[in-house]
Each structure stands twice: as C-alpha cells, then as structure tokens.
Amino acid sequence: MAVIDFGGVKEEVVMRREFPLRRARRVLKDEVIAVLGYGVQGPAQSLNLKDNGFRVVVGQARQFRRDWDRAVRDGWKPGKDLFDLEEAAERGTVVMMLVSDAAQMAIWPRIRRHLDPGDALYFSHGFSIVFRDRTGVIPPGDVDVIMVAPKGSGSSVRRNFLSGAGINASFAVYQDATGHARERCLAIGIGIGSGYLFPTTFEKEVYSDLTGERGVLMGALAGIMEAQYEILRRHGHSPSEAFNETVEELTQSLIRLVDENGMDWMFSNCSATAQRGALDWKPRFKNAVMPVFRALYSSVKSGKEAERVIKACGRKGYQQRLARELARMGDSEMLPAS
C-alpha cells in the first residue's frame, strides 16, 4: 500500500502500481462476476470489467424494459451474458448488488438462495448491510461480503475509464469467509477502473456518503445556488447575469481550478478583490451551516435518513413523484432543461 500524507495525517491507499491489472486478473481468473442491475452503476462497472478481460454476466429484470433494452444496446446478449436477476446470481461466484437500495430489499430473499459457500457478495454502498435490521439483507456466514464504492456517478466511472483517468473509490471488507476477501475486493476495484482505492468500513462509507449527498455534493450545493440566484434576481440583475455569477463561472471555471490543484490554487488565480472578500465571508458561511451539518450527520448516524429513504422509495407512485420533483428543478429559471 502507498502512504499519502494529508497535511501531516498519513493514510494508506492502494494504487495501480501496488495492485496492477494483471494481478487483478490473476485473482479473479476463475470467477464469474454477476452484475445485478443495469441502472446507475451497473452499466459502467460491468462494461469496465468486461473491457478489462473479466468474465461478466449481467442480471436485469425484464419488466424494466428501459434498463433491459439499454443492456442489449450496450452489447449484452440475452441467454449468453444477459439474464434475469436470479439466473445471473446463480451463474456468478461474485454477485454484485448494483440495483437501488430499495430494490435490494425486494430482491434479497430470491438472491440469497443462489449464494453458495465461498461466493462473494459485493456492494457499492453499505446501506443494505449497515441498516440490515431495516432492510433484512443479512448475508450467510459462509460468503465474503465486500464493497467498492466509486466516488462518482456511473457515467463518470465509465467516462473516466475510457479516458484512462480512473476514479477514486473506497473499499471495505465486512465479512471474510474465504480468507481472500480483501484481495477479491481490491481486484474488482482495479477491474472497474479505480486508480486510487482508500480503506473504509461499511458504516463509515454510509455515514459519509449520505452526509455528502445531502450536503456539499448535492443538497447544500443546490440550495446555496438557488439562494444566491434568487437574491440577485430580486435586486434587478438579469437572468444571464445571475446565472453566470452563480452557475456558469463555478462549473466551467473555478471548480476546475480546485480539481487541478486545490482550493488555494483557485483562490490564487482570482483577483485580489475576490480573494479578500471570499476569505472574509468564508467563516460566516461555515458558522452558518455548521449547525445544519451537525443535525444532518446525527440524522444519518441514527438511521433516520435510512428510514426516510426506505419509506419514501417504497411508496406506491414514488417514481412519478420523483419525476415531478426533478421536472420542477429542470424547469426553473436558474437551470432550465437544455
């Protein structure tokens, strides 16, 4: 493992030079990897593994025609390497649960029947295992239970793979029944295109992921952008001006500088006026949102967020309600649908 120094805090991570693709292929040479679900992460992870030379089959419920048809368009052939969920699980020695968290609860009793001693049960999110008292996903004791959680959407996992950049991912072993769970886990991480794997636990992954999604990555970002945009518009600024100062410059310029070389690099590439103002206002924003983040993390750790997700996503008509919520966002003046 490589040791990375984060400002004096040292962390051990796994990179391609420590665990090259040829080693991953050797570890999984006798495995059949069954990817269950062809929605968000399934397409990217299955295609990346296939392109990297692993034996992969895809499991997808036929009644979800959009996902089934997408798999066919991507080159998976029914009866050869595309099957319904249970048949794919039966064929696999590594069963990758990449359906949604709500769907994992629904299909688990059927999938569990097809897990043989020595198989590996794989997740890209620790939700079902950490909140197993609510989800009912309790693996048998004779299988490995592992996780690789890419830090990006499925489209980013695939796009970065095709560009050769790779994507960061966390990894964890929940249950090591074979004595080889960690090696299998890392091999899959390399196989799906991760170039930087850092260790975690199922619990820490869930707590950080749910906090991040509701916070900086999605919820907080969307809320802060809406607030600034509305203030500018109320004070007579045009939609173009409000949009560019809120969205365009952030997404097309400044965040790219952060990605390139850090927050200080972005600040140093802005005007003295911008630097001074941002440095002065940063503490005020931090102090303002800190209570919100404390409440958010507490809600995540207590399981309240999990309960809300399970209840909402399992409710009849949820997909229609979700579509309406996203449509309102897409129809907004700030971010109109293209």
- Within 10 angstroms of residue 249's Cβ, the number of other Cβ atoms is 12
Strand 82-83 relative to strand 56-59: parallel, antiparallel, unpaired? parallel
Question: With helix as H, strand as E and coil as C, how does 288-310 read?
Answer: HHHHHHHHHHHHHHHCHHHHHHH
Which residue is catalytic, options 114, 125, 235, 237? Answer: 125
180 is catalytic: no
Separation between Cα atoms, residue 97 and residue 47, nearest integer Å? 15
Q: Are the CB atoms for 186 and 19 separated by under 8 Å?
A: yes
The CA radius of gyration of the chain, in Å to the nearest whole number, is: 22
The number of residues in the chain equals 338
Separation between Cα atoms, residue 149 and residue 126, nearest integer Å? 9
- CA dist list (Å): 109 to 105, 129, 147: 8, 14, 20
Separation between Cα atoms, residue 198 and residue 193, nearest integer Å? 14
So which residues are the catalytic ones?
125
